[in-house]
Structure 1
């Protein structure tokens, strides 16, 4: 049992750590967001990263502590350094549709470009920014380093006027230390915006019925952004159906029937500019089953069917939690290999299992079950079934719950470890 003196020492140390972290943020950054638009381009043999444009937006809604740490490894990273001494002052990880596309057969004979947008806190002085992309073997395939002068007159300003209508759906207990999630409407006309808000309510209730979100719900701030579309619904290329919608979303991504995405990331962030956002959930007004989730980018979910609730939660597991799919899907275009450990916290090839879920195996809350990451052999998951494997299971497995809890604690700095 801890003595009173020990408890006071722990409290003092915690307060000191929090103060130092706040000072570090204030030392290097303003309370604004630097939006960085990039173009990722190439084919399976050659890839490149190009800076498109920097944009200044009001307020910073990301973390203000543990700035130089990565929430997860990801297969891409952005690093901000002080230009004078090279000190890392901010890092974040991500995944992209571009990297997924590189594993397709189309990438072997065609070059394409993809929009990507990243948010970092707005620097007070000139910084060096490095963007790195890795392949499925954890090797760098493209790197770009450039500088940003925060006083550059050509940095465009956005989100200061003509802001998309939005409303707060869930208030965090502490809005200075929380996780900001924004739902945005896709394929809803002006006349259908009440239906969008009802779908947000349904998705919100579904999300916070699941652990660990249910127990930790006070750490989330939820906003709904009402971006109207000219047409109702979304595009279905396989059926020759194309719609004029706010985000240009469509099914048949990479010729996969139910893969629902948008490639218009700049348009997405234009519509969100000036609203309090970090993690993005796109609700798509369609009855056709489908969805997609990209880690630290966005996720999309259909809303008009019986599986809306499990799908939106599953896709958030991808986009927020960095969780991998735990089902098999034909063994085509493999993304996981025996010589590389998956960065996703709920998958392993046993190449380097350390710090994943061996602690749960020792207390018999999890195990090693072969099959996951779309592959039937060589990739293992922690439980027989999970929300990341099937819509028929109502909860995240212990492995995914542990990974999500660790991540929530990382962002909100309320963990006990």
Structure 2
């Protein structure tokens, strides 16, 4: 009888943790966590920078103790009194990508990183963990947050925003915000037109098309002093809202911003979790970092395919499926990629075996920038070329799972 009762207690505890009540642990507010990730190839460190509080929580309110995807890092929030895991989230960072570059072998650098979590009712312990490309922990830091701490900065709405697409239920949806980069005050009408065009392009692709009522999309108007964005390779440095630039890691088409605190300051108080930055430039390029942001050029014929592709990275955690060069690999035979559309294992059952059995996918070698040792699900896909009109079935299934993870109990 005692064993039976103990089993019931454990079972009920497990069920209660899986079906956590958001209201039990959190207020309807956002805790913004600012960190500095620093170091070099040999040694990495995490430092707490600032904490902020703003009204409204626009992330998920269920599956709180589960990760949407593994990512290259994660945040775990525990109730300080009981040790119960009450929230988890995953991400990737430009810092971790930089660690694979030649510069990281000889120079130490620091990178801003910002993450949003629901605001706790009671004291919590937050652990941030970074992993390398072999899924090994490279750095971890735990700190305590008391929600009544008087030094947590209060943030108020900074920017006017326009609703581009309204969700059917704004309490159970995915909140996306567009941000203007390189558009002057007089170019805001063009920026809003670009936001609408990008939204329409996204919703032409499955599974976003059939699930578009689960997305709430806004556009904040963040004017820049100068038009266009910086191109260091051409010695062009401009004064823009986010200080973004091409030539990231000396790649001419890699467009990023290092100013993540500035980005989130612009968004403070608005309904957002995922971010699409539109850059008013004709120079081809972009970048997408999982659960951080998507940055895309707008003044060229490939604007719409690229913004959808980059959203596949930033929202969906999808990996690039094209070969780029076999130097400095990011994927290895001993580590299965966390990205749902790439695999290094071809034994049965494969990562997307169900789709293979249905004749909708296969194992095609080449992906993750490598010509050998990484496999994708189809010959072509939106994550491989701009010319292909759709996400492949493997990517579509992965995106569908993720959308339902965020919006269904």
TM-score, scaled to structure 1: 0.93
- What is residue 21 of structure 2 aligned with on the other side? 24
Structure 1 distance, partners of 2:257, 2:69, is: 24
Whole-Å separation in 1 of the counterparts to 2:60 and 2:183: 31
- SS in structure 1 opposite 2:300? coil
Q: Does 1:120 align with 2:95?
A: no
Residue 356 of structure 1 and its aligned partner are, at CA, apart by: 3.1
**2-side partners of 1:208 and 1:165: how far apart?**
24
Segments of 5+ residues of structure 2 without an aligned counterpart are 1-14
1:139-163 C-alpha deviation (Å, 9 max, x unpaired)? 00000000000100000011x25x2
Aligned mate of 1:132, from 129, 132, 153: 129
CA distance in 2, matches of 1:150, 1:73: 27
Are the equivalent residues in 1 in contact too, given 2:25–2:86 (CA < 8 A)? Answer: yes
In the TM superposition, what is the alpha-carbon distance from 1:330 to its structure 2 partner?
Answer: 1.2
1:230 aligns with 2:225: yes
What does 1:142-153 correspond to in 2, within 5 Å?
142-153=139-150
RMSD: 1.4
Q: State whether residues 33 and 59 of structure 1, in contact with CA within 8 Å, keep that contact through their aligned partners in structure 2.
A: yes
Q: Summarize the alignment of residues 120-269 of structure 1 with structure 2, pairs less than 5 Å apart.
A: 120-158=117-155, 160-161=156-157, 163-269=158-264
Q: Note the C-alpha offset of 1:56.
A: 0.4
Distance between the aligned counterparts of 2:28 and 2:350, measured in 1?
A: 34
Alignment match of 1:358 (pick from 334, 339, 353)? 353
Per-residue CA deviation, residues 114-146 of structure 1 (Å, 9 max, x unaligned), is 000000000001100000000000000000000
> Offset of 1:283 from its aligned partner?
0.3
What residue ranges of structure 1 are gaps of 5+ in the alignment? 1-16
TM superposition shift of 1:351: 7.5
Cα 1:356–1:214, aligned 2, differ >3 Å: closer, same or farther? same
User: How far apart in 1 are the matches of 2:225 and 2:154?
Assistant: 26
1:354 Cα deviation (Å)? 6.0
Matches within 5 A, 1:12-411: 21=19, 24-158=21-155, 160-161=156-157, 163-350=158-345, 356-411=351-406
Residue 21 of structure 2: SS of its match in structure 1? helix
Match in the other structure for 2:4? none
Quick check: 1:96–1:295 contact (8 Å CA) kept in 2?
yes
Contact 2:31 2:54 in 1 (8 A): yes
Contact conserved, 1:338 with 1:351, CA < 8 A, in 2?
no
How far off its partner does 1:352 sit? 8.4
- Provide the secondary structure at the position in 2 that maps to 1:169: strand
Partner Cα separation in structure 1 for residue 71 and residue 284 of structure 2: 27
CA distance in 1, matches of 2:349, 2:221: 44
Q: CA deviation at 1:258?
A: 0.2
Per-residue CA deviation, residues 163-186 of structure 1 (Å, 9 max, x unaligned), is 211011111011110000101100
Distance in 2 separating the partners of 1:37 and 1:74: 19
Q: Distance in 2 between matches of 1:222 and 1:335?
A: 32
Distance 2:29 2:149 in 1: 15
* 1:316 partner SS: helix
Over 3 Å counting, the alpha-carbon distance change for 1:275 and 1:31 in structure 2 is same
Matches of 2:105 and 2:346 in 1, distance apart? Answer: 28
